[in-house]
Structure 1
């Protein structure tokens, strides 16, 4: 069974202001440092849900991905922070947040320096097509090199349909046109092979396990769904439909790549 540990945040170390949602490096009661993502940030719990689904799926598929944990934030943190903007963020994020292990010493992936082989590039492109992750471009790769190996981070911009839920069943069947800007698309020459490999590793039970990890308290901000059960069922249906129609986003990616090479 998939499950995440829960830690308690004990120390706010420093903000990471390069992130649009103002994540921070924080220490927890297990004495590890984490990149903490706040439920009170601009995109609210949706960004955490996308991070949870995307990151957990990435780990299931075998990608190097920092451990994800639930991070409990006590209301006392907002009382002593001198920066008003950070203080407001902490106060709005009391309760359960999401964090990734901080990879100390990691450097940002630079496609001009590091070459990714065709199979791994195709795997990452497939994942981002499936998740509709718009945030793996040359400008912002959201990949790190740590101990000479490639690690994925930050899937919070995935599943962007859930910020409005308009025509979400139809959106599940659509290609992902933004894949044309993916930093690894020029190297992704094995997409059809990866499609077969990954569809053998994902099924409805796996999708259900991942979606069931979403805390109930993150699922209370959408009037379209009368219950948290209905809310979860929508995520499960979207991902199941998208998996069944992977040929559509694979074709889009292959066509986009043909224009680059």
Structure 2
């Protein structure tokens, strides 16, 4: 779910590894950018692939994913519908393959993803779970390695273009900043986001996001000091340059920012 900066979050990746395929869902919009990115990962010569984020319940998109089978299992970065609505049907199309997510509500067959650092390797791919709450409480990322190549699948924690919304009250800004600090350590590793283009450097993108969030916090502090007392009043001051049709989403982030700053909200 996108945010309020329109430029890229860092240098774009010049190419994807040969074992990575992008299937973009046909659900473009202000909050989904070009559409939800479904990633298919298969080590060279391997029989089974791993799918990350099935996307919406779009029959043609799900059929396109299934055409890349056989699939070992499906991973979910977080529970928003633009990433998960197609998961039950995809599991059926894949013959009942497990869907793995942090939230049991989005887990089908296998156990939920609850252990930081958990390894989920499959046929030449090393997959490590990175717990990265903040955008939502159940947000996770995946560090995937094949040979000497590594990528981080970032879901909506880092987008390829713009910034993401901290979806208050499920999302939490303190957790989000901690998650960005974790991702900032993955320097020089390509980021494969849930929306937008792939980025050349996950760590650099995380640093960009951290700087943006800190700047927004300074703006919110200034708005409160100037007399803004409610989230809508802060949005009107801080996000005046943002299309008003997106102010509802900005209000989520502002409520998270006010909570982080200890400002009581009506």
Q: Same fold (TM over 0.5)?
A: no
For CA contacts below 8 A with separation 6 or more, give which structure has more relative contact order: 1
Q: Name the structure with the higher helix share.
A: 1
TM-score, normalised by the number of residues in structure 1: 0.28
TM-score, normalised by the number of residues in structure 2: 0.28
